[in-house]
Amino acid sequence: MSASLDGVKVIDLSRYIAGPFCGQLLGDLGADVVKVERIDGGEEGRRVGETVEGDTLFFLSANRNKRGFAIDFRDKEGQALLRQLAATADILIENFRPGTMEAMGLGWDVLSALNPRLIMVRISGFGQEGPLAQHPCFDGAAQAQSGVMAMTGPAGGAPTMAGVFVCDYSTALYGVIGTLAALHARETSGRGQVVEATLMDSGMALMTTAIPERILFGREPERLGNRDRYLSPSHCFRSRDGIWIYIVAGNDVHFPRLAAAMGRPELAQDARFATFVARNANVAELEAIIDAWAAERDGEAVLEIIHAADIPCERVATIADVIANPQVVHRKQIVDVPHPVMGSVPFQAPAVRLHGTPTVIRRGAPGLGEHGAEILSDWLGMSTPEIERLQAAGTI
């Protein structure tokens, strides 16, 4: 069965998370992705976090379904070789600091002249131009600058970074969305284009109504901890046996059901709680009532009661809970990714499913430069003696 992006050739020059994950998603969809790294040690992600048989889980998590190519980026012949590869590619992903590609002779003007059908995906912290363009950026800095961090954390407490790299991963997703749109547009125009995705823009895109509320009403969003920003009650409640359960019952359909399920139907008519505006205004009182109710029951009993009332609620799962979750097991959302020494390493499966052209994990993350000769032969038709010359010169 063919994959969605069969025949699409991708050069991935990126490092860390946002760019590599963008490339991995395209690889999961069937593209032939070539991971290009510097020859002296590879990308920085190879040295971050826990290792298995010499490979970091960090690197493995964002680089499956790629072939490996290593090159001396500073070498003029290496730069010329990258231009040759770009001339045959459909997509090129990069997340260097703005201006770096141009300094290597790999700017959009050069590459698009060589290959008018090329799509260049430029991932950065703040964009290619503007007053912050040259600032170095990781996910936490983007959370700070985009406003995400100011809205995250306990009420009255310090700004808090989210527990996962939300700006990195959302930027990867926006990068893929833009790339797929550019591929579709190319079918009509015959030409590629630049696709830009930035960590700051991606963080801002997650803000729902915070920015218009500030502009229109002068209202700065507060940190609310685990509370929903719009509807109450929506919070974590602790059961008698210490299980945390998140209950979302803030609208005018769910709250009467919650009140009845708790054996307190009168709460739905109480003037303090009868509307979502009233519930938001009296949220502390309402949460205290639910806290007391939950504290009298074991967690499983709370879940059974609330689920029976058809109200969104779930146990706050540990990672061990997630791994054992029967829904995760049923959907096979943890898969074995090939590894040359371990045999395989468990990772999350692709999050999107296509029933006609399914995603496939064809290979694990590549070794540094593992497929260099193969790629030059496949993509450029380069002869063995010429490949050996480049290897001897230290270019690849």
Residue 126: band (very low, low, confident or very high) from pLDDT cuts 50, 70, 90: very high
Which pLDDT score is estimated for 182?
Answer: 98
Q: What does residue 268 show for φ and ψ, rounded to 5 degrees?
A: -70, -20
Which pLDDT score is estimated for 2?
Answer: 87
324, pLDDT greater than 90: yes
247, pLDDT greater than 80: yes
Residue 4: band (very low, low, confident or very high) from pLDDT cuts 50, 70, 90: very high
Which pLDDT score is estimated for 281?
Answer: 94
Section 339-349 average pLDDT: 95
| Angle in degrees, CA 16, 17, 22, rounded to 5 | 125
pTM of the model: 0.94
Cα–Cα distance for residue pair 333/348, rounded to 1 Å: 6
Which pLDDT score is estimated for 212?
Answer: 96
Mean pLDDT across the chain: 96
159-204 tens-digit pLDDT:
999 999 999 999 999 999 999 999 999 999 999 999 999 999 999 9
Say if strands 9-12 and 32-38 run parallel, antiparallel, or are unpaired. Answer: parallel
Q: Of the given ranges (11-15, 344-348, 391-395), which has the lowest mean pLDDT? A: 391-395
338, pLDDT greater than 80: yes
Residue with tokens 């010169």: 393
118, pLDDT greater than 80: yes
Count the neighbouring beta carbons within 10 Å of the beta carbon of residue 218. 7
Which pLDDT score is estimated for 1?
Answer: 73
Domains annotated for the chain, with CATH where assigned, are 9-206+330-393 (3.40.50.10540), 234-316 (3.30.1540.10)
57, pLDDT greater than 90: yes
Section 13-23 average pLDDT: 97
Alpha carbon 35 to its chain centroid, in Å, reads 18
Say if strands 313-315 and 244-248 run parallel, antiparallel, or are unpaired. Answer: antiparallel
- Residue 168 appears among annotated catalytic residues: yes
Catalytic residue among 168, 270, 321, 378: 168
